[in-house]
Amino acid sequence: MSSICDKPAGLLSLDQAVERLLENVQPVRGEERLPLARALGRVLAADVSSPLDLPCFTQSAMDGYALQANEALPGATLQVMGSAFAGRPFLGSVGSGACVRIFTGAPLPKGADAVIVQEETECQGPSVVVKSSHPMRPGENVRQQGEELKRGDGLLSAGKILRPADLGLLAVAGCSEVAVMRRLRVAFLATGDELADPGEQLAPGFIYESNRPVLRALLLELGIEPIDLGRVDDDREVIRRAMHRGAGQADVLITTGGASVGDADHVVDLLRELGQVEFWKVAIKPGKPFVFAHLGSTPVFGLPGNPVSMMVTFLQLARPALLHMAGAARLRPLRWRVECRNRLRKSPGRLEFQRGVVDWLDGVPGVAALAGQGSHRLTSMSRAHCFIVLPAESTGVEPGEMVEIELFAEPGVFPS
């Protein structure tokens, strides 16, 4: 089939391409219950309500003395009736002229409505003297029952990708396991007669294949089950069989290489022959020859063969579609405006993703583009902290101008 996207003037913008992808893929069905220890990075399958109040009892927020707030007058002397520890509450009641030694997290004793911190008191045998210069208010230094969440309040929403803090929130609410969407299964292959596996002896004209290790890692980061179909020669029948095999055993098929217009680039022609090409080519750099198609009901993402182009198209196009299929709530990449440290060259026409390193100089965040922005230079992705996102109409950037960046997900230490 022919497509408007085959013509330079008909290239889809990145936003248009992402919308088309999301319109044409559906979340997988099926879920499983997992213990919290195995749920990191998985997609929550259903809303979770809090089964109890948080905190579940009124407690002290500080080490000090539990008392009635109107008793904490400067210079007042109060009798210490006992102690309250986290897990070992004081079982009596605090009356007038009295207080209870209390530690952070301990239940607030009956009769008390505030906690004076120990630094504002002086211990004198069985009594303490109030040294603060201001009157106390009821509730001071106290965590009220249910002040964070009431029983039945929403704890987490379906579609959330579970992070460490989410697992802690589930645990503090007493949840030992959680319902998550089943893992998305993604098959992937790399095409190219010139490819050799790392560890093999390189013949003349061959290069080591790097896209599959990168793809596997990118999929694992998303909590997706990767299915490596291996490297495939630039032979139509071999690629055809590999595509059928991948489409038959996975929810999604990803190819790398063979999506351009060379004599040995068979992927797009085969997808047209065997299935339905939804669009081909996107107005981004690097990564224009991205193809989205279906083999039967299986979505296929054809990524370019150059390593940087492959990563850019995966992160900008395949990733949002895969997250949608995995059941995750829709996420847009976060971008920040920072000062550009060096001159950036660019031709107008396509949205461009240059690789940059972030710094923090004199309290001002900034970014500098790495030397060597070629789409074959994987070193630029390895050393970079972010993408520098240059609009399609941009003709370049001068030092000191503001640019938008997308930080990579992993934590980084930026030079100061």
Backbone phi, psi, residue 215, to 5°? -60, -45
- Residue 117's pLDDT is 96
pLDDT classification of 249: cutoffs 50, 70, 90: very high
Kindly compute the dihedral angle of the four CA atoms of residues 307, 186, 323, 411, in this order, to the nearest 10 degrees. -50
Q: How many folded domains does the chain comprise?
A: 4
Residues 71 and 25 in one domain: no
**Domain end marker among 297, 325, 353:** 325
413, part of any domain: no
At residue 412, does pLDDT exceed 70?
A: no
Answer yes or no: is pLDDT of 5 > 50.
no
Across the chain, mean pLDDT equals: 92
246 and 387 co-located in one domain: no
Q: Which two tokens stand for residue 237?
A: 């029948």
Among 275, 306, 325, the domain boundary falls at: 325
Together in a domain, 206 and 348: no
pLDDT at residue 261 in the model: 58
Query: Given this model, what pLDDT does residue 260 score?
Result: 62
pLDDT at 262 over 90: no
Residue 78 sits in the same domain as residue 220: no
Q: Does residue 330 lie within any of the structural domains?
A: no
| CATH number of domain containing 175 | 3.90.105.10
Do 126 and 268 sit in the same domain of this protein? Answer: no
- Mean pLDDT lowest among 89-98, 129-138, 210-219, 369-378: 369-378
Confirm whether 412 is domain-assigned: no
Residues 195 and 317 in one domain: yes
The predicted structure's pLDDT at residue 252: 98
Domain check: are 70 and 111 in the same one? yes
Number of Cα atoms under 13 Å in the Cβ half of residue 226: 19
Angle between helices 236-249 and 267-274 (to 10 degrees): 60
What average pLDDT score do residues 11-19 get?
Answer: 96
> Which pLDDT value is given to residue 403?
98
Q: Is the pLDDT assigned to residue 414 strictly greater than 60?
A: no
> Do 191 and 297 have their domain in common?
yes
> Could you count the other beta carbons within 10 Å of the beta carbon of residue 182?
17
Query: Per-residue pLDDT for 295 more than 90?
Result: yes
- What pLDDT band is residue 6 in, cutting at 50, 70 and 90? very low
Question: What's the CATH number where 380 sits?
Answer: 2.40.340.10
Q: Taking residues 201-225, what's their average pLDDT?
A: 92
Q: Using CA atoms, how far apart are residues 60 and 99, in angstroms rounded to an integer? A: 13
Cα–Cα distance list, 380 to 201, 226, 304, 356, 411 (Å)? 26, 25, 17, 8, 17
Please give the average per-residue pLDDT across 19-33, as a whole number.
Answer: 96
189 and 264 fall within a common domain:
yes
Strand-pairing partners, residue 186, are 226, 252
Residue 398 lies in a domain: yes
Neighbours of 16 (CB within 10 A): 14
Domain that holds residue 356: 336-407
> Is 159 found in the same domain as 120?
no
Q: Check whether residue 319 and residue 398 sit in a common domain.
A: no
Is the residue at 296 inside a domain? yes
Q: Is 331 a member of any domain?
A: no
Which pLDDT value is given to residue 374? 79
Using a pLDDT cut of 90, give the percent of the chain over it. 81
Question: What is the spatial distance between Cα 146 and Cα 56, in angstroms, rounded to a whole number?
Answer: 6
| Stretch 152-181: mean pLDDT | 96
- pLDDT digit string (tens) for 308-347? 999 999 999 999 999 999 999 887 889 999 999 999 999 9
**pLDDT value of residue 9:** 52
Domain of 310, CATH number, reads 3.40.980.10
Residues 122 and 249 in one domain: no
- The domain boundary residue, chosen from 271, 304, 325: 325
pLDDT per residue as tens digits for the range 68-120: 999 999 999 999 999 999 999 999 999 999 999 999 999 999 999 999 999 99
Half-sphere exposure of 128 (CA within 13 A, CB side): 27
Q: What CATH number should be reported for the domain holding residue 129? A: 2.170.190.11
Q: Is residue 311 part of a domain?
A: yes
278 lies in some domain: yes
- The answer, yes or no, to whether residue 8 has pLDDT greater than 80, is no
Indicate the pLDDT class of residue 234, thresholds 50, 70 and 90: confident
